[in-house]
Amino acid sequence: MSENSQGESTDPNDAAPQQPVFQLRLVVEAADYDKAVRFYRDVLGLPEEVSFEGEDGELGIVLDAGRATLELHNPAQRQLVDDLETDGQPSGHIRVAFEVADAAGTTRQLTDAGAVLVAAPRVTPWQSINSRMIAPAGLLVTLFQEPGSPGSAPGARRIASQARDPVELRTKYLHIAREGTLSAAQRLLGIS
């Protein structure tokens, strides 16, 4: 075995295994293709990587949605998330989530551009601000804003940290979610 000056192996057989998947690509058929492109590319702001057109009117576009992950839930977890984000309205088998800098502002932009609001932005127990909508091409979309992101509302992180007991937190959150605003959450939890 050979080592470099830092004591690390230089044997190529000792290299870390490469990740077997390089990209997650969600492919969606959009009956109103132009509307979907305007919504996702022009309003949401996903940069175009490539577009293509076939001889018989076939159209396609690949938009860069940043880093992709695959989040799997069992039915109980899916129900919990639905309860927290939408007061229990079921999301079904597939939902697309986009992390954004300003959940409230982006929600307004997307609903102005034709998305149907399912749940207004709200603070979740995991300290993100989430909204949900039905977007062009029939996608159920969640927007989420992580605490500390550039557009994060003051106090969002503190709201979830006020209660450490999961049952207490869920009870408080469901009450907050019914009012649907950060200010309501701050009033309920006594945070100014």
Tens of pLDDT, residues 12-59: 566 667 778 788 899 999 999 999 999 999 999 999 999 999 999 999
Q: Is the pLDDT of residue 186 over 70?
A: no
- What are the φ/ψ torsions at residue 101 (nearest 5 degrees)? -80, -30
User: For residue 11, is it within any domain?
Assistant: no
- Given the DSSP bridges, would you call strands 116-123 and 129-135 parallel, antiparallel or unpaired? antiparallel
* 143 and 81 housed in the same domain: yes
The domain containing residue 147 runs over which residues? Answer: 75-189
Element (H, E) at 116: strand 116-123
Instruction: Report which DSSP code applies to 35.
Output: H
Instruction: Report which DSSP code applies to 42.
Output: I
Predicted confidence (pLDDT) per residue in 126-136, tens digit:
889 999 999 99
For 52, other C-beta atoms within 10 Å of its C-beta total 9
* 133 and 55 housed in the same domain: no
* 80 and 114 housed in the same domain: yes
* 110 and 33 housed in the same domain: no
Residue 46 near residue 64, CB atoms below 8 Å: yes
Element (H, E) at 141: strand 139-145
pTM (2 d.p.): 0.67
How many domains, in total, are found in the chain? 2
User: For residue 1, is it within any domain?
Assistant: no
* 59 and 113 housed in the same domain: no
